[in-house]
Amino acid sequence: MAFEAAQSQLIGSLRTGLYVDGTWRDASAGATFDVEDPATGEVLTTVADATPEDGMAALDAAAAAQGSWARTAPRERAEILRRAFESVTARADDFALLMTLEMGKPLAEARGEVTYGAEFLRWFSEEAARVSGRYAIAPDGKARLMVHKRPVGPCLFITPWNFPLAMATRKIAPAIAAGCTMVVKPAALTPLTTLLLTSVLEEAGLPSGVLNVVPTSDAGGVTGPLLRDPRLRKLSFTGSTEVGRRLLKDSADQVLRTSMELGGNAPFLVFEDADLDAALDGAMLAKLRNMGEACTAANRFLVHASVAEEFGSRLAQRMAALPVARGTEEDSKIGPLIDEKSRQKVQELVDDAVGTGGRVLTGGQPQAGAGYFYPPTVISGVGSDARILAEEVFGPVAPIVTFTDEDEAVAMANDTEFGLVGYAYTRDVSRTLRLADTLESGMLGINVGVVSNPAAPFGGVKQSGLGREGGFEGIEEYLETKYVGLADPFGG
Ligand code: NAD
């Protein structure tokens, strides 16, 4: 098959070492770890396995480069990002195939992520030259106030496996734009896309030491000492709430600035006045994008009792029709889950939901054979104590519960420690505005199943995190506000 030739050529051409101070090299202990294709369980390649010493060498390089990097012209940083954007776009097929191979998502979705992930490079290339400050006369007319923005300093980025390109560019691009240096620890399950992006940024002219990349199988061992080092000024983490909480505690000793993009438990509300066709289209996207392995995935379908039966049966019909296959197959709509552990967790939550009275309308059992495939699943009549309503399922499973009025729907939607995103389908404008106030989430989609957009602030409230990525807000995460007080120029 053509893709097999493309696969071996692409994998063979990858740099798989550590990237420290502008140099590709082996890990100091010489170790490597395997990267697997979740569709087959086979090893794709091996990658250098950084040690704590390698992590510290990466921080040494980032700290040494910080001063000169902060003084580069914003335009110069912008143009590096712009060249990287052009290059990722030109190599879209390579990036898409690589993501499909290491993470499993269908090629069409991987292409979508290339567009989304590359856009952070372009957006922040445009923002780099817009960082500004202010000058003011103090209210008493005497002192003068100058406020300007400075780069935060060396950053540590820890990224998840589910969006291997976009979760990296959403941090790296604004940090470059702001003038910060960085150490990146990609997810051990999917380090290859970050390594290809690193090659692209190197070719785009990023100076040595600005970006350092340390894949490792020992996440805590490599990143822990960096969090305790006073040269590190910022941690940006995307991953589970459980790990995020621990990293926040570890960041307290150095009072580090942190950005935390954590887990979600998105409610998807369908009101009695919704356009049901549109709600079904939105539900397919909100649930099945990335096989449900997204922090923004609809985790709970809260549907008005008068339309719940029709919604459930039509959703099950549409979901059952989707081809479940290796992401490299052109007609694949649902690829494998990332690993067996994730698949077992999905099954556990499905079994638990059935135990609370849920009825499986489609799916409900793992697919036999190689790879970690799980079919799209719809469960109606789920009991209010089901674990799936409280925990992220991170798989293609849609539990449906019903409500009878808006207050009840909002109370159910907010009954979670998470607050990343919500979705609502309604044609009532006043209701839309009420929901924008009453739903406890950092983001809300109205009559739309995907809200992610590089020009918008992405992030959550409650235990879904701290800070925002993308939009005008995204670069602020990498800037300090510095105030300079000036004496009255008239000597008053
Ligand atoms: P995870 O928390 O297991 O891992 C995330 C990253 O943290 C990985 O690089 C991992 O190696 C690293 N890590 C794990 N333990 C660590 C430790 N003790 N010290 C330092 N680093 C450590 O999450 P995951 O399974 O990779 O990703 C899925 C989770 O990410 C889900 O909860 C999902 O909701 C969340 N997520 C959130 C967003 C968002 O923007 N809010 C986006 C994507 C994913």
186 Cα–ligand 1 center, Å: 10
Say whether 155 is catalytic: no
CB-based burial of residue 32 (10 Å sphere; 0-12 exposed, 13-18 middle, 19+ buried)?
Answer: middle
Residue nearest to atom 43 of ligand 1 (CA): 295
Query: Tokens for 76?
Result: 């110069």
| Beta strand ranges found along 271-358 (DSSP E) | 298-304
Tokens 């992006």 correspond to 197
Give the full edge-to-edge strand order of the sheet including 397-403. Answer: 359-362, 377-380, 397-403, 298-304, 266-270, 421-425, 443-446
d(CA 386, CA 92): 41
For residue 492, the model assigns a pLDDT of 76
| Ligand 1 probe mutation, 295, 394, 464, most atoms within 8 A of CB | 295
492 Cα–ligand 1 center, Å: 56
Q: Report DSSP letters for 198-248, one per residue.
A: HHHHHHTTPPTTTEEE---S-HHHHHHHHHT-TT--EEEEES-HHHHHHHH
Q: Is the dihedral of CA 405, 408, 411, 412 positive or negative?
A: negative
d(CA 209, CA 60): 9
88 Cα–ligand 1 center, Å: 24
**Any bridge partners for residue 403, and if so which?**
304
Q: Is the beta carbon of 66 within 6 A of some atom in ligand 1?
A: no
Nearest to 125 by CA among 164, 87, 163, 167: 87
The most distant pair of C-alpha atoms in the chain lies apart, rounded to whole Å, by: 82
CA angle 235, 239, 244 (to 5 degrees): 55
Q: What is the pLDDT along the chain (492 residues), one digit of tens a residue?
A: 577 888 999 999 999 999 999 999 999 999 999 999 999 999 999 999 999 999 999 999 999 999 999 999 999 999 999 999 999 999 999 999 999 999 999 999 999 999 999 999 999 999 999 999 999 999 999 999 999 999 999 999 999 999 999 999 999 999 999 999 999 999 999 999 999 999 999 999 999 999 999 999 999 999 999 999 999 999 999 999 999 999 999 999 999 999 999 999 999 999 999 999 999 999 999 999 999 999 999 999 999 999 999 999 999 999 999 999 999 998 999 999 999 999 999 999 999 999 999 999 999 999 999 999 999 999 999 999 999 999 999 999 999 999 999 999 999 999 999 999 999 999 999 999 999 999 999 999 999 999 999 999 999 999 999 999 999 999 999 999 999 999 999 997
Say whether 261 is catalytic: yes
Compute how many other C-beta atoms are within 10 angstroms of the C-beta atom of residue 31.
Answer: 15
Closest ligand 1 atom to Cα of 241: 32
Identified catalytic residue from 109, 113, 155, 295: 295
d(CA 170, CA 33): 26
Q: Is the beta carbon of 107 within 6 A of some atom in ligand 1?
A: no
Identified catalytic residue from 36, 102, 109, 261: 261
d(CA 284, CA 157): 31
Q: In terms of pTM, does the model score above 0.75?
A: yes
Q: Is the beta carbon of 261 within 6 A of some atom in ligand 1?
A: yes
For residue 4, the model assigns a pLDDT of 84
Q: Is the beta carbon of 264 within 6 A of some atom in ligand 1?
A: yes
| Beta strand ranges found along 305-439 (DSSP E) | 359-362, 377-380, 397-403, 421-425
Closest ligand 1 atom to Cα of 220: 19
